[in-house]
Amino acid sequence: MQTIQLHIPDTLANKITRITENTETFIINLLKSKVNELEKNNELTNEYKLAAKENKKLRTDFKHVDLEGWEDAY
């Protein structure tokens, strides 16, 4: 385990102590939650990028036949 010295504003520290008795555990849990959120967002971003590439390829592959025989009226 690593020790990190953290300086936070007094107003924030007071709010935290009103919420919980164990500030260290509270902050560790918040950091874990935020890291997990960022990792998930990063994974989604990568998946969206791959999907965009696939969609572009599909549009290119089918651009010649995409509008053939289609009418705008239903």
Quote the pLDDT of residue 65: 75
Q: Nearest CA to 26 among 7, 39, 13, 40?
A: 13
Please tell me the number of Cα atoms within 13 Å of 69 on its side-chain side.
1
Quote the pLDDT of residue 73: 65
- Over range 53-59, report the average pLDDT: 88
Give per-residue pLDDT as tens, 22-40.
999 999 999 999 999 999 9
